[in-house]
Copies of this chain bind each other. A is one copy, B any other.
Amino acid sequence: MTMTRRERYREETRGEAKRIALEQLAELGVEGVSVNAIAKRMGITGPALYRYFKNREDLLTELIRDAWRDLAEAVEDAAEQSAGRPPDERVHEFGRAFRDWAIGRPHRYLLLFGTPLPGYHAPPDTVALAHRTMSAFIGVLTAARTAGTTDRSTLDEQLVDWARSRGEGEVDPAVLLTAVRAFTRLHGVLSLEVSGQFGPMGFDPALLYRAEVESLLAGD
């Protein structure tokens, strides 16, 4: 793990560029992330940055990778720290961690769950990174009360296949369905909130979010 002098400097430079990119992302959105502008703020010329990132998309991919990792750590923390507590509380804790992360860094949340970048194709490792969050969710939900789902059929099979392929082991399809379903519900609220769609409606999205968490604990 020992890095040479040069490697350390290189990582330092990449880090600085990414930090500035995140600021631009927050201020101007994804379109506003400019290689040239980042370089200028670092005190170097534009083309110099191409020594550190293959191109603009490569830099953005790095941002996405970091975001997935960051989110995974946040929810995994919540899952670990609530270990042993009642299942329902754990689900609440997970929901809270997820929401806090999203609301605290809306632009990064949108980078993951918003409109996909034009010709962007996620590298395999980011898919794996993304799965960590879902995996933590499944873990928390396993012990929670599982609602009696009416139709255990095609969807169930597909979900079990998916979980197996991701090394999740043999999980009850009902848990998987609940996980995916719950996740889309939480995302539904967060996505609209972070995009400002609730703005003109003038109510507190946190209450809606809470209602959703409670409804899925009540068993759908």
Contact = CB atoms under 8 A, between A and B. Distances in A.
A218 B151 CA distance: 14
Contacts of A127: 200
Count identical subunits in the complex.
2
A154 B207 contact: yes
B113 A195 contact: yes
Interface string A185-220: 111110110011100111110011001101100101
Chain A interface size, as a band, is 35 or more
B154 A204 contact: yes
A115 interface: yes
A137 to B, nearest CB: 13
Report which residue of A32, A188, A204 has the largest number of chain B beta carbons within 10 angstroms of its beta carbon: A188
Contacts of A180: 201, 203, 208
A162 interface: yes
Report which residue of A115, A177, A215 has the largest number of chain B beta carbons within 10 angstroms of its beta carbon: A115
Nearest to A193: B184
Interface in A97-139: 110, 113-119, 127
A7 interface: no
Interface of A: 28-32, 110, 113-119, 127, 149-151, 154-155, 158-159, 161-162, 165, 177, 180-181, 184-189, 191-192, 195-197, 200-204, 207-208, 211-212, 214-215, 218, 220
Given A29-B117, A187-B188, A220-B220, 12 more contacts: A29-B115, A110-B115, A114-B195, A116-B195, A155-B204, A155-B207, A158-B203, A158-B204, A180-B208, A184-B192, A185-B185, A191-B191
